[in-house]
Amino acid sequence: MTITRVGSLLFLCGTVALASGYGGVPKSMSWAYLHTTKGVALPAPPPDAVIRLPGSALELSGAQFNSMADNPDWFPDDHPAMPDVVAKSRPAGGIACADCHLPNGLGHLGTAVLAGLPAPYLIEQLNAFRDDLRQSAELRLHHTRKMNIVAKGLTEDNVIDAADYFSSLPRGPWVRVVETDRVPRTIIDPDNWLNRAPGGGLEPIGQRIVELAENEYRMSISDPTSGIIAYVPKGSIRRGDSLAHAGTPQRAACTTCHALNFQGVGTVPAIAGQMPSYLARQLWDIKTGSRRGDSVAPMRDVVRSMTPGEIVAVAAYLASLRP
């Protein structure tokens, strides 16, 4: 588990952390690559707390929850039996898939929605992580580094088991996209996601996407029924709709490969309803050459001329679609 008490650590506001770009990530894209070593975690449940979720038969004390090696499975009857690689962590960095992507494959903040993606695509991507073909334009981004480590420790059977499991899951709505001029003030969590800043308040959104848990407490206990809210600049969805469907003279429309409804076809992944910051990172990583491989080669021409503003718009639009 990564939820820890943090005492009196200095609060680090998201806008401060994003004051400059890193390496292959300019300031205009740094919102998608949250990075800090001084984040403030959500408080751990008190040891004597009783943790329940509506509709779940599971009941845990705070002490039990805090001592668990992996996230609890609140609704085991809502999904197929998880293979060990999905449910249980292993030595030497072998984090359980469900610890970040949840048993339903929809995922915590900062992760990808895996539910319903084609098994061959998932296998290909795990192999790309293993072979360091999937890197991040921000070398300190720990989500990608974690995946590189995890993938290197997987057996062929592990890879197949994980891919088969996540591809079998239904892909329901998970991200709620809201257009706005102002967003809640935020702080960066040690897991490199955003939480609402103590004291509240609003700040201009600028040209970025701000993803928050609909309910931070429920996310902190890995509730698989409480999703994500993504704030995007006003006008983003309409602009992204046009870019995704029409393309430009320099690049093909997204529908060319991902189908008219963006649900994917064959081994081409669905991108409707995907996490917008994840989509933005992938576009920028491919643009910079940080994400490579035969499967993403066709994307290089698509993203070559994309501006950060266009990436925000396309990611906002695609995330707003119902999977």
Q: What is the pLDDT along the chain (323 residues), one digit of tens a residue?
A: 333 322 323 333 333 333 333 457 999 999 999 887 777 778 889 999 999 999 999 999 999 999 999 999 999 999 999 999 999 998 877 899 999 999 999 999 989 999 999 999 999 999 999 999 999 999 888 889 899 999 999 999 999 999 999 999 998 899 999 999 999 999 998 888 899 999 999 999 999 999 999 999 999 999 999 999 999 999 999 999 999 998 777 788 999 999 999 999 989 999 999 999 999 999 999 999 999 988 898 899 999 999 999 999 999 999 999 98
Full-model pTM: 0.90
Helices within the chain (DSSP H only) = 14-17, 62-67, 84-87, 97-101, 119-130, 142-152, 156-167, 216-220, 236-246, 255-258, 276-288, 297-303, 308-320
> What tokens does 116 get?
């319903």
Residue intervals in the chain for CATH 1.10.760.10? 14-42+172-320, 71-167
Q: Are 109 and 90 in contact (CB under 8 A)?
A: no
C-alpha gyration radius of the chain: 19
Contacts of 208 (CB under 8 A, 6+ apart): 18, 31, 32, 233, 312
In 10 A of CB 323, how many CB atoms? 20
Class for domain 71-167, per CATH?
mainly alpha
Q: What is the Cα–Cα distance from 101 to 112, expressed in whole angstroms? A: 7
In CATH, the number for domain 14-42+172-320 is 1.10.760.10
> What tokens does 261 get?
């409804």
Q: Are 280 and 244 in contact (CB under 8 A)?
A: no
